[in-house]
Amino acid sequence: MSKMRKALIIGISGQDGSYLAELLLKKGYEVHGTSRDADLSNFYGLKKLGIFNKVKLHSMSLIDFRSVMQTILQIEPEEIYNLAGQTSVGLSFLQPVETLESISVGTLNILEVLRFHKLPIKFYNACSSECFGDTGGNAANEETPFKPRSPYAVAKSAAFWQVANYREAYNLFSCSGILFNHESPLRAKRFVTKKIIDTACAISHGENLKLELGNISIIRDWGWAPEYCYAMHLILLQDQADDFVISTGTSTSLEEFVNFTFQYFNLDYKKYLVLKKEFIRPTDIGFSLGDSSKAANLLHWVPKVHVNEIIEQMIKNNLSID
């Protein structure tokens, strides 16, 4: 019998970590996952998907080199997916040091363990479309220069170039997926998409609420998280390590997202929307759109779920919980 492949998902407690764990389990992997404190994390996503008892969980601090080294050497995985670090763009303005350390230093610690111990492990790094900044109405691909406009994007950009440098300098199989926005019912409450869904559902139940937002004219490329996690896995299945933009190629404004959501309940969103200056970030991206032609050609990855379907799935999940 062939040996069961092992995968280590660093930051397994989030949306992407949960869906990726589900995918890898279906493919016959032995899945390990880390959280800063596995005993205190609630692992909502893993429990929601019914796989909590099927993964092996470990406590690990990404900014502690010894912790990273001990965990990797103990598990000896064939694949590592780094999805950890401070994940909120808005929060990064309030916690810039924590953001930089958890993303940039954390990624560097993983790379150094792989280099120092000469481990033949395939490494996936979660990069972000935020690194591109505002592309001025053009779709961003792998050749588009980075112009980060938040501490989060600066940290992700640094991690991206670390991965590329270690790939070229030390011949590590290290890759970055530059993922555009992707949503699901497992999206955390602090994200604006989840806030919109939750508020609309509450209003439909008769609650006297207002939807408080900042800049609703921003345009984003929203995809379906499970499809994006599949793309992560495909990136590590390639013979050559490389970086890929993962997106839908379809743009939607935040106002349109709100409108789609409220239309589901036959509600006029304008009656409930309140714009507040305090929700506007110091710097923000007006337009974000991706070009995943490379992923389509080399990975044979093509997104199938439209933003309207994503909204509907998030609403149905919310209503089923209620």
Q: 158 and 91 share a domain?
A: yes
Q: Closest Cα partner for 220 from 130, 305, 303?
A: 130
Looking at the structure, do residues 275 and 314 belong to the same domain, yes or no?
Answer: yes
- Which uninterrupted H or E stretch holds 255? helix 254-263
Q: What's the mean per-residue pLDDT of the chain? A: 95
Q: Are residues 200 and 315 in the same domain?
A: yes
Residue-level pLDDT at 57: 97
Bridge-based pairing state of the strands 211-213 and 273-275: parallel
3 in Cβ contact with 31 (< 8 Å): no
According to DSSP H, which parts of 49-190 are helical?
A: 65-75, 89-94, 96-100, 106-116, 151-170
pLDDT for 201 equals 97
* Residue 293 token pair: 């032609």
pLDDT value, residue 189: 87
Assess whether 260 and 228 both reside in one domain.
no
Closest CA to 318 of 274, 266, 265, 270: 265
Task: Confirm whether 174 is a catalytic residue.
Answer: no
Specify the DSSP element, H or E, that contains 273.
strand 273-275
Report the pLDDT value the prediction gives residue 277, as an integer from 0 to 100. Answer: 86
Residue 68 inside a domain? The answer is yes
In a domain, 1, yes or no: no
Report yes or no on 51 lying in a domain.
yes
Could you say which of 22, 30, 79, 130 is catalytic?
A: 130
pTM confidence score: 0.95
Residue 225 CA to residue 187 CA, distance in Å, equals 9
How many Å apart are CA 13 and CA 19, to the nearest integer? 10
Q: Do 317 and 211 fall into the same domain?
A: yes
Strands (E), 24-139: 30-35, 56-59, 79-82, 122-128
The answer to whether residues 20 and 44 touch, using CB atoms and an 8 Å cutoff, is no
What are the pLDDT digits (tens) for 61-77? Answer: 999 999 999 999 999 99
User: Both 162 and 201 in a single domain?
Assistant: no
Number of domains in the chain: 2
**200 lies in some domain:** yes
In a domain, residue 140? The reply is yes
Q: Is 312 a catalytic residue?
A: no
- Shared-domain flag, residues 259 and 242: no
Domain co-membership, 155 together with 115: yes
Domain assignment present for 283 = yes
Q: What is the pLDDT of residues 219-261, one digit of tens each?
A: 999 999 999 999 999 999 999 999 999 999 999 999 999 999 9
Active site includes 130?
A: yes
Kindly name the residue from 152, 166, 228, 269 that is annotated as catalytic: 152
Burial class (CB in 10 A: 0-12, 13-18, 19+), 121: buried
- The residue assigned the tokens 């011949």 is 171
- Predicted confidence pLDDT, tens digits, the chain (322 residues): 457 899 999 999 999 999 999 999 999 999 999 998 888 888 999 999 999 999 999 999 999 999 999 999 999 999 999 999 888 888 889 999 999 999 999 999 999 999 999 999 999 999 999 999 998 889 999 999 999 999 999 999 999 999 999 999 999 999 999 999 999 999 988 899 999 999 999 999 999 999 999 999 999 999 999 999 999 999 999 999 999 999 999 999 999 999 999 999 999 999 999 999 888 777 788 999 999 999 999 999 999 999 999 999 999 999 986 5
Catalytic residue among 18, 92, 128, 176: 128
Q: Is 212 contained in some domain?
A: yes
My answer on whether 89 and 229 are in the same domain is yes
Q: In the numeric block, which tokens belong to residue 180?
A: 């555009």
Q: What are phi and psi of 252, to 5 degrees?
A: -140, 135
pLDDT at 41: 86
Whether 215 and 105 share a structural domain: no
- Cβ-contact 16, 187 below 8 angstroms: no
| CB-CB contact of 310 with 185 (8 Å) | no
Which CATH number fits the domain that encloses residue 199? 3.90.25.10
Q: How is residue 169 written in tokens?
A: 């300098």
Question: Domain span at residue 146?
Answer: 6-183+224-249+291-299
H or E element in which residue 182 lies: strand 182-183
Q: Are residues 120 and 17 in the same domain?
A: yes
CB-facing half-sphere around the CA of 131: CA atoms within 13 A: 25
